[in-house]
Amino acid sequence: MLSKILGRREEEKKVRDQNRLPPGQSLTQKFPVLHYGSTPKTDLGRWDFRVFGLVEEEKIWSWEEFNQLPRTQVTLDIHCVTRWSKFDTLWEGVSLKNLVDEGIIVPKPEAGYIVQHCEQGYTTNLPLEAMLQENVLLATHYDGQPLPLEHGWPLRVVVGSFPDRSEESNAYFWKGGKWLRALEFRATDQPGFWERNGYHNEADPWQEQRYSYGW
């Protein structure tokens, strides 16, 4: 037990010295499970994923069709608003940036924000510019395996930091919704579940934008 504690502290010092640990955060070697409400049950035979709103053409993909889209892998550091950070996590899935770059999804000029619609009515929001960064992924796999159910299987959004912090924007981990079912492109922002309940709308971990009420 002591060796594990000392090992964690040494690793935490390493990432802090590399400027990878945001203020107020601590390294975890586990993967905590946090979400509001129950874990949904999903039938992949009836599952679909929708892109709608301010796009030139609405898209609806079945699970099989979604998995035919171009795929990519990214290694990210992730930071939870509850003050844990996990480093060098490997994710695989579909990059929204790639879909837009390849013309598979074409946002209308007035689109400026995206709302993530998830199971059980949960939503969260990000600017379109943030969603189109390479450190954002519509993820189906974690660490070489399909997502665990409690971490958002079959599909979730992942927002993280590259180890060299080369991304243009970042956000706490709640800004990537679990059990994702749709992306809505909008002209105006629409705060999601936690944003309406006191969490900061921008949620930059490097600025400790945790809460909107100064808690």
Instruction: Judge whether 212 lies within some domain.
Output: no
Tens-digit pLDDT profile for residues 138-164: 999 999 999 999 999 999 999 999 999
Structural domains of the chain, count: 1
For the residues 32-60, what does the mean pLDDT come to? Answer: 92
Instruction: Judge whether 213 lies within some domain.
Output: no
3-class SS at 184?
strand
The span from the first CA to the last CA of the chain, in angstroms, equals 34
Establish how many alpha carbons lie within 13 A of residue 215's alpha carbon, considering only the half-sphere containing its beta carbon: 10
Taking Cα atoms as reference points, which of 25, 205, 188, 212 lies closest to residue 112?
A: 188
pLDDT at position 2 over 60: no
Tens-digit pLDDT profile for residues 47-91: 999 999 999 999 999 999 999 999 999 999 999 999 999 999 999
Confidence bin at 4 (pLDDT 50/70/90): low
Give the domain extent around 163: 2-207
Instruction: Judge whether 86 lies within some domain.
Output: yes
Which CATH number is 116's domain given? 3.90.420.10
Beta-sheet strands, E only, within the chain: 26-27, 48-53, 59-62, 72-79, 84-94, 113-118, 123-127, 136-142, 145-146, 156-159, 180-186
pLDDT at position 45 over 60: yes
